[in-house]
Structure 1
Amino acid sequence: MQLVPHGPTEGVYSATDDYVHAMEVRGAERLLFVAGTMGLDPSGTPGTTLAEQLDLLWSNIRAILAAAGMTVDNIVRLTSYLRDASYAEANAVARVAALNGRVVPTTAIVAETLVSDWLVEIEVIAAG
């Protein structure tokens, strides 16, 4: 599989250093669509802080990907749902760290989560 990032510089605003406008996937045999995943521990209890929830969230995503024989290197698209806009920077830092600096198309949306203790939810698309 080959990933080809596309970041046009004319006719559209510039992407920041932590994402790319589009990712072309060539030669993928499988696509994995991961439901919104929260920062919950194995008992279903949310972390008590945003940092703890982000750690749990990425641990959960890695476990889900591993169950499909994939890793975070297979992520080709990511959407974050933040309970508060003030979480955007911490979410971006956690995402960049989790992806080892690799950029993918990403969107962050401020939304009311189903449970007020869920501070962030992330869904991903992975290809392999």
Structure 2
Amino acid sequence: MEILTRNPSEGVYPATDDYVHALEVRGAQRLLFVAGTMGLDAQGVPGATLDDQLQLIWSNIRAILASAGMTVDNIVRLTSYLRDPSYADANAKARVAALGGRPVPTTALVAQTLVSEWLVEIEVIAAG
């Protein structure tokens, strides 16, 4: 599988260090679509703080990816749903750390979650 970054320098605003406009995936044989994943522990209890939930989310995503023989290196698209816009910086820092600084196309939206204790939900697409 080959992954090519597509960041045109003309006709669109510039990408940032932790963001790319697009990734072109060539030769992928599998796609994994991961549902919105919350910061819940193994008993379904949400983490007490935003940071706790972000750690749980990324732990849960790693476990889901591993079940398909993948890692965070296979993530090619990510969408974050934030309960409050003030969560954007912490979410971005957690994403950058989880991906080891590798930028992927990402979108963050502010949305009301189904349960008020769920502060962030993240869905990903992985290719392998």
- Do these two structures clear the TM 0.5 threshold for a shared fold by scoring above it? yes
CA offset digits 1:11-41 (Å, max 9, x no partner): 0011111110000001100000000000000
What is the Cα deviation at residue 9 of structure 1? Answer: 1.2
Q: Residue type of the partner of 1:29?
A: Q
Aligned to 1:100: 100
Matches within 5 A, 1:45-64: 45-64=45-64
TM-score normalised over the length of structure 1: 0.99
Q: Residue type of the partner of 2:115?
A: V
Q: Residue type of the partner of 1:39?
A: G
Aligned to 2:21: 21
TM-score normalised over the length of structure 2: 0.99
Identity of aligned residues (%): 79
- Give the unaligned 5+ runs of structure 2: none
What is the Cα deviation at residue 59 of structure 1? Answer: 0.0
Aligned to 1:70: 70
Instruction: Give the aligned length.
Output: 128
RMSD between superposed Cα atoms in Å: 0.4
- Give the unaligned 5+ runs of structure 1: none
Q: Which runs of 4+ in 1 moved over 2 A?
A: none
Aligned to 1:79, what secondary structure does the other structure show? strand
Q: Residue type of the partner of 1:80?
A: S
Aligned to 1:44, what secondary structure does the other structure show? coil
